[in-house]
Structure 1
Amino acid sequence: MFKNFVFGLALISIIACGSKPRVSLDEENLGLKPSAQHEVIASEVANLLENHSYKKVPMTDSLSAIVFDNLLKSMDQGRNYLLQSDVDQFQKYKNTVSQDFRKGDLSAPFFMFNVYSDRYLQCMEYALTQVDVKHDFTVNENYVAYREKLPYFKTDKELKDQWRKRVKYDLLNLRLTTTDKDSVDMEKHKETLRKRYKNLISQAKKTNSNDAFQLIMTALTDAVDPHTTYYNPSFAQAFNEGMSNTFEGIGARLQMENEMVTIKEVIAGGPAFKDKSLNVDDRIIAVAQGDGEFDDIIGWRLDAAVAKIKGPKGTVVRLKIIPAGQELTAQPKIVSLNREKIVVEEESALKEIKMIKGEDGKTYKIGLIKLPKFYIDFAALRARDPNYKSTTRDVRLILDTLKQEKVDAVVLDLRQNGGGSLQEAIELTGLFIDKGPVVQVRDTRNRVQVDSDEEPGVAWDGPFGVMINRFSASASEIFAGAIQDYGRGIVLGSQSYGKGTVQSAIEMSRFISATNKLLLKAKGEDKDPDTPNGAPEYGQINITMGKFYRVTGSSTQHKGVSPDVSFPTQYTAEKFGESSEPSALPWDQIKPTNYKRVADLTAVTQKLNAVHETRMKKSPEYKYLLEDIEEFKKLDNVEEISLNQVELQKERDRVRAKNRARINKGLELRGLPLWKEGQPQPKVDFDFVLDESLNVMADFIRLGK
């Protein structure tokens, strides 16, 4: 799976700003220092990237510039803290920082991090002074919360004015989003804000050198390859626990974005998935235990926020949510979830039977299989447990059931499926094709291995479709590409992610020489005191060691898999997926394998697209989808928020009315009761792409004959 979806690594915005009279910030010690262990690890990681990774990228001036930009962005992506003079001061490191990694010299990135930390604390301290200042909510002025597309501040005065507006906005937003009688109690809102800023200061002061080192190393590895990353011992343990897929909580992957805890994945089978109240890019702004008081978590460290959200199974957590796509001024919704033990390796393929009326008036029975990931219980397999759980075994059983229920076609839904076991992708393909090659893998020495399905026969030989979208990646792309190349079925949806690389997870202790280990031990730095029990003592690197290719010889890297029948999507290739990653490997191709196509579906695919396009021209739901995509695109603009209470209230009311109108339009199209004022927001699950894909499958059954 791609890195951010697996772990949400982007290190939290916990430091940065400048507002008090500036001291001289040359090479003086501002705080955190790299340990001797950090220096050894940095040198070894640079060596691995240069000499042993798939790309073998040298530590050059050009790479240094990318690392430098990555580091700036990871520290202050919203440009709310650093001054232009700080950035100018950093420029002397821009062309040398990667070469310094090779030597184990981390003084430059740690200096940048410390300046950033100092600025952040200054900002928070200044914000505290502005809480009790009298703010006029009748004047017309605007606040820009996220300034990535704007220049850095040139002066302390400009920065102070930004933070004056930030405090004013926070107070105004608290007043407008409080629904009880306390909405006019400004003293209560001030106290809430004081606690928030004091918490930010407290969390920032807890930042340690391992936090800095993790962020710095991520800036390096991301410059080389978006799927190669170094994890310090604590992060390595958390990553490995995540990959073991057992924890107790709400069942969501979280990431810090612009100081807000953001949902990046809803895990199938967990409480959030079952409740259907949370979606990707929803922001969690407050947490309460059971019926207790809400804790405002805006600006918290990610690990601290996660500790509040996770908890023993059977307990209740309440979350205040700003839904994805809505402005920060929107009224938050409250979601109550019962925590459960999430056993992700037991995520199973799920089946449904869908009855679809075709263009010919006949009703077709279609078996739908939803597959959230390619899973396998490796531990049970190694123990020779005859009942070990795997994707292929589960899908085979489902196909047997669907055949007994006499379905006319089968659709496998791989949307949002970020991948998983390569072995399962190969074996699952074997359920739909006879013996033959499935995928090719080229390693760091340019050796190509062909992985094939060796089992004769198929589990389903009828009409077959595969659904993908921009977040179908890795193993999903191998499977969908093989089905398409063999002509075994049709692929529906939107272009897939384009992750065609193979990573190996390796403990760094394998690369630290015995001499260096002895030297570190002599210095008392062979084991960091912050290393959790059971964590790899020198951390772990997940490094790209190979590349996938389809049986045609075409790489899935960068391009992904293009569907036979396409649907429009808001997730464009320019902003989402592998092609949006500057350091991603390019697309290329190698020799095709000796495979035999099942059928040539070119002619029938052309007919399917013609019928599909005709149906779309008459579909009000298709128009609804296009409108949603246009609304999504507008969110990319720089958002100016009015600090005039009347105007902000009007804007908030407009957003609420617009949201209600959009939901009601969808409800009306489906003949469902409308959402009326005063009623709780209905849980809606509109899936036009699925509905139309099933219509296309009905066409496929009819035209394929």
Structure 2
Amino acid sequence: MSPSSPARQLMAFALCLLTALPALAAEQNALEPTDEGRQASRETVQSLQYGHYEPVSIDDAWSNEVFERLLTMLDSQHAYLTRQDVARFSDLRSSLDEMLADGDLDRPYEFYNFYQQRFESRLEWLISYLESKPGFDFTGNDRLPTNLDDADWAETSAELDELWRKRLKNAALTLSLTSGESDPQPQLDSGILSEIASIPATPDVTEKPAQGDSLSDDEISEQLIERYRNQLNRVRQSNPEDVLSLILNAATSAVDPHTEYLSPSRGESFDIQMRLSLEGIGALLQQDGEYVRVSSLVSGGPAERSGQLRPADRIVAVGNGESGEMTSVIGMRLDEVVERIRGPKGSKVRLEIIPANAVDVTQTRTIEITRDTVSLEDQAASSEVIELQRDGETQRIGVIRVPAFYVDFDAWQAGEEDYRSSTRDVHQLIDKLKQQDVEGIVLDMRGNGGGALQEANSMVGLFIDRGPTVQVRDARGRINLYGDTDRGVAWDGPMAVLVDRLSASASEIFAGAIQDYGRGLILGNQTFGKGTVQTLSDLSHGEIKLTRAKFYRISGESTQLRGVEPDISYPSLIDDEQIGESALVNALPWDTVRSVNYRQYGHPQRFLDQLRTQHNQRAEQNPNFIYLTREAELAQQLQAQSNSVSLNLEQRKREMQAREAEQLALENQRRSALGLPEIKSWTQAREEEMEAGPGADEDSPIQQAALNESAAILLDYARLQSPSQPDAGDGN
């Protein structure tokens, strides 16, 4: 068979199948809105209009944004609808505001039903073609675009057919790659699975063949047929509640990313999570197009302790137990993915993931995590002492790890004197470090996603002698000032706060206050930038999580969007375009309010130029920092090059091998500089990582290098500054 024959077969088949589309559409059982859904729509719009922090105008501009969000949720990769299809429902661009406000959901449901017809017809088209036993040719120069978010809509069905010809070829090539290597890397079919973010996708029950066995074209077709049939079965299980959630979340996300409609079932899951009684892996997930992405890990949770799952990893399949069937979750609704991962304490779950730093999106790995609950003990602060050699003497810097701002609310509300809290634990650790004669203290708040606001306030009070800590502005423009009211400090010596992109909310309030007071140095990376407050309100059907307030530093600057900028920055492997408030659609803007009066405890900015010079000199000689810098540069380079994949088998292998070779060379340069044995492949690196066991990521050489350097910078700072006496005055 010539290289072009499969393409001609597919095109010819498309012409035959397209004539059947009207019949397929007529047979489709259309989903219709319910009376409960209509009322929920009216109440949701009223909540946005009268309860949201920002003024929300329910007008044509908002209507158009809702329609665009709906299109993205349904067809983010522009793979099912043509420009003509979108134009057919263009009236919604200016009418959704009135429709949603009045609870008139007939037309939005009609749009959804039309989309589902296109979706089902495409799957039937693929299945029928594969049943014709086509051959697959993996030569030629075809490439498949991997990100069509900003692409134009196809003008004709023929254009979509050509896109799907490439996607189908990529699916077959991926299976061929997986089965044909003697030491195969697990592969992900990145281009052929469902793009839909709000409809259940299908279980991928395909079993990987034994190593070294190569699948025939017929075997590849059989596996893909089973995959698409399962997708078809799942999408046909959609119900009116699914469509309501889709439409109302298009409406809420058009306002801001943290405001959302929760169906009755979603609301129950949210309540369980807020009570911290959820038994699972301790990972916060977010929808990312067709994927579910890890946004952060719960401090002290099973996933963090395992060291196997990291922020920005994408989950592509879930299996229960050590040998349970792996089910694809690509295209599956977020709440369904959460349900599959959740399970009884002590049970195991396996996740197939695309690592955040994967050299190719077709490379996946499978990890196993034991489910557990998260307790205060798991999140408890801890301390250590880092010893540094300076001028022939040993100097000691204390480190306090603060994973979260926690408090035993039940004991606190009951009036118990010895209730457990992060502030109390940190105070005790400070006393312990004092006895060990440390010259300074680094508070490590990397990965601290926040927690109790009162704890952020009281913990600032351990380092200042009374004063404001944060301003909270509500929807009416009223500002409440929070702060520390206790006299005295627990530590008045040199201090630094180490943060990263995953430091959010309360940890940003703490770091911002320390920076504004001039009380210490902020080191690491720009923080997450979540400076908003949400409340949960009941609707007659479901609930709404609504943004009601905003945080501001005592200097008047918001922590929203920009977060806290460190005084000295470190390279990071976390892509700011994937993780952080600025990576979210329709995030509220950064702004300012009036500053408040506060005392200045020091002026670290006077020494920053010298501190940065000394830091850079050390970093240029530190193998771990050199690796981190080059790895971050390589990740950006690979990201820029990952807009398409080759559909030529040999070319795809060469591209994958070249990318892996670059990363392998970087790792071996680091190991060589440290006198460690080199590794031969990434398979060996993963095996070593797995053997390291729980907590390996937290204690990794890269993580420890940042902590050691922070201690060194703080020691420099302690040597440079004179004995500090608080300067009276304000922060202006």
TM-score (norm 1): 0.86
Q: Secondary structure at the match of 2:86?
A: helix
CA contact 1:43–1:102 (8 Å) conserved in 2:
yes
2:497 maps to 1:466? yes
**Which of 550, 556, 559 is the equivalent residue of 2:559?**
556
CA contact 1:251–1:342 (8 Å) conserved in 2:
yes
CA distance in 2 between counterparts of 1:389 and 1:263 reads 29
Q: Secondary structure at the match of 2:279?
A: strand
Q: Which letter does structure 2 place at the counterpart of 1:592?
A: S
**Which of 543, 550, 572 is the equivalent residue of 1:540?**
543
CA deviation after TM superposition for structure 1 residue 491, in Å: 0.8
Q: Structure 2 vs 1, CA of residues 172 and 395 (structure 1 numbering), >3 Å: closer, same or farther?
A: same
Q: Structure 2 vs 1, CA of residues 667 and 202 (structure 1 numbering), >3 Å: closer, same or farther?
A: farther
CA deviation after TM superposition for structure 1 residue 484, in Å: 0.9
Aligned partner of 1:202 in structure 2 is: 233
Q: Structure 2 vs 1, CA of residues 590 and 305 (structure 1 numbering), >3 Å: closer, same or farther?
A: closer
Aligned partner of 1:171 in structure 2 is: 172
Aligned residues: 659
CA distance in 1 between counterparts of 2:243 and 2:641 reads 31
CA contact 2:299–2:404 (8 Å) conserved in 1:
no
**Which of 655, 660, 678 is the equivalent residue of 1:656?**
660
Aligned partner of 1:4 in structure 2 is: none
**Which of 427, 434, 438 is the equivalent residue of 2:469?**
438
CA distance in 2 between counterparts of 1:19 and 1:383 reads 69
CA distance in 2 between counterparts of 1:157 and 1:177 reads 30
Aligned partner of 2:643 in structure 1 is: 639
Q: Structure 2 vs 1, CA of residues 167 and 567 (structure 1 numbering), >3 Å: closer, same or farther?
A: same
CA distance in 1 between counterparts of 2:530 and 2:349 reads 35
Aligned partner of 2:481 in structure 1 is: 450
Stretch of structure 1 that moved more, 126-135 or 288-297: 288-297
Q: Which letter does structure 2 place at the counterpart of 1:658?
A: E
Aligned partner of 2:214 in structure 1 is: 184
2:356 maps to 1:320? no
**Which of 588, 591, 615 is the equivalent residue of 1:588?**
591
CA contact 2:316–2:353 (8 Å) conserved in 1:
yes
The 5 Å alignment of 1:422-433 reads 422-433=453-464
CA deviation after TM superposition for structure 1 residue 72, in Å: 1.0
Q: Structure 2 vs 1, CA of residues 539 and 181 (structure 1 numbering), >3 Å: closer, same or farther?
A: same
Q: Deviations over 1:427-478 (max 9, x none)?
A: 1111111111111122222222211211111122221111223332221121
Q: Which letter does structure 1 place at the counterpart of 2:141?
A: N
CA contact 1:381–1:388 (8 Å) conserved in 2:
yes
CA deviation after TM superposition for structure 1 residue 206, in Å: 1.7
Q: Secondary structure at the match of 2:94?
A: coil
The 5 Å alignment of 1:334-349 reads 334-343=366-375, 346-349=378-381
Stretch of structure 1 that moved more, 162-171 or 232-241: 162-171
**Which of 389, 393, 405 is the equivalent residue of 2:424?**
393
Aligned partner of 2:382 in structure 1 is: 350
Q: Which letter does structure 1 place at the counterpart of 2:89?
A: F
Q: Secondary structure at the match of 2:373?
A: strand
CA contact 1:176–1:183 (8 Å) conserved in 2:
no
Identical residues among aligned pairs (%): 37
CA distance in 2 between counterparts of 1:363 and 1:598 reads 28
Q: Structure 2 vs 1, CA of residues 644 and 663 (structure 1 numbering), >3 Å: closer, same or farther?
A: same
CA distance in 2 between counterparts of 1:37 and 1:295 reads 36
- RMSD over aligned Cα atoms: 2.9
The 5 Å alignment of 1:68-467 reads 68-131=67-130, 132-178=133-179, 179=184, 180-181=210-211, 183-186=213-216, 187-292=218-323, 294-299=325-330, 301=332, 302-326=334-358, 330-343=362-375, 346-358=378-390, 360=391, 362-467=393-498
CA contact 1:289–1:317 (8 Å) conserved in 2:
yes
CA contact 2:293–2:314 (8 Å) conserved in 1:
yes
Q: Deviations over 1:666-705 (max 9, x none)?
A: 3334332221247453327323443432221121122224
Q: Structure 2 vs 1, CA of residues 285 and 547 (structure 1 numbering), >3 Å: closer, same or farther?
A: closer
Q: Structure 2 vs 1, CA of residues 262 and 508 (structure 1 numbering), >3 Å: closer, same or farther?
A: same
CA distance in 2 between counterparts of 1:29 and 1:59 reads 33
Stretch of structure 1 that moved more, 420-429 or 100-109: 100-109
CA deviation after TM superposition for structure 1 residue 624, in Å: 3.0
Aligned partner of 2:199 in structure 1 is: none
Q: Deviations over 1:63-104 (max 9, x none)?
A: 112111111112111222222221122222112212322222
Aligned partner of 2:62 in structure 1 is: 63
CA contact 1:70–1:219 (8 Å) conserved in 2:
yes
Q: Deviations over 1:505-550 (max 9, x none)?
A: 22224xxxxxxxxxxxxxxxxxxxxxxxxxxxx2222222222222
CA contact 1:287–1:296 (8 Å) conserved in 2:
yes
CA contact 1:330–1:655 (8 Å) conserved in 2:
no
Aligned partner of 2:8 in structure 1 is: none
Q: Structure 2 vs 1, CA of residues 559 and 252 (structure 1 numbering), >3 Å: closer, same or farther?
A: closer
Q: Secondary structure at the match of 1:50?
A: helix
CA deviation after TM superposition for structure 1 residue 665, in Å: 2.7
Q: Deviations over 1:329-379 (max 9, x none)?
A: 654333233333334785222323222335x45433222222232222323
Q: Structure 2 vs 1, CA of residues 597 and 612 (structure 1 numbering), >3 Å: closer, same or farther?
A: same
2:671 maps to 1:667? yes
CA contact 1:249–1:339 (8 Å) conserved in 2:
yes
Compare relative contact order (CA 8 Å, sep 6+) and give the higher one, 1 or 2. Answer: 1
2:627 maps to 1:628? no
CA deviation after TM superposition for structure 1 residue 125, in Å: 1.8
CA distance in 2 between counterparts of 1:73 and 1:329 reads 21
CA distance in 2 between counterparts of 1:24 and 1:618 reads 70
CA contact 2:312–2:578 (8 Å) conserved in 1:
no
CA contact 2:317–2:330 (8 Å) conserved in 1:
no
Q: Deviations over 1:198-256 (max 9, x none)?
A: 22112211222222222221211122222222211111111221222223233323344
Stretch of structure 1 that moved more, 343-352 or 92-101: 343-352
Q: Structure 2 vs 1, CA of residues 650 and 606 (structure 1 numbering), >3 Å: closer, same or farther?
A: closer
CA contact 2:630–2:666 (8 Å) conserved in 1:
no
CA distance in 1 between counterparts of 2:563 and 2:363 reads 38
Aligned partner of 1:610 in structure 2 is: 613
CA distance in 1 between counterparts of 2:706 and 2:565 reads 16
CA distance in 2 between counterparts of 1:200 and 1:270 reads 32
CA contact 1:138–1:644 (8 Å) conserved in 2:
yes
Stretch of structure 1 that moved more, 614-623 or 482-491: 614-623
Instruction: Give runs of ≥4 in structure 1 deviating > 6 Å.
Output: 24-30, 572-575
Q: Secondary structure at the match of 1:606?
A: helix
2:719 maps to 1:699? no
CA distance in 2 between counterparts of 1:141 and 1:344 reads 54
CA contact 1:265–1:280 (8 Å) conserved in 2:
yes
Aligned partner of 2:6 in structure 1 is: none
CA deviation after TM superposition for structure 1 residue 27, in Å: 13
Aligned partner of 1:530 in structure 2 is: none
Aligned partner of 2:50 in structure 1 is: 51
Gaps of 5+ in 1: 1-17, 510-537
Q: Structure 2 vs 1, CA of residues 185 and 587 (structure 1 numbering), >3 Å: closer, same or farther?
A: closer
Q: Structure 2 vs 1, CA of residues 632 and 392 (structure 1 numbering), >3 Å: closer, same or farther?
A: same
CA distance in 1 between counterparts of 2:719 and 2:229 reads 66
Q: Which letter does structure 1 place at the counterpart of 2:615?
A: H
Q: Structure 2 vs 1, CA of residues 276 and 575 (structure 1 numbering), >3 Å: closer, same or farther?
A: closer
CA distance in 2 between counterparts of 1:25 and 1:589 reads 56
CA distance in 1 between counterparts of 2:317 and 2:561 reads 38
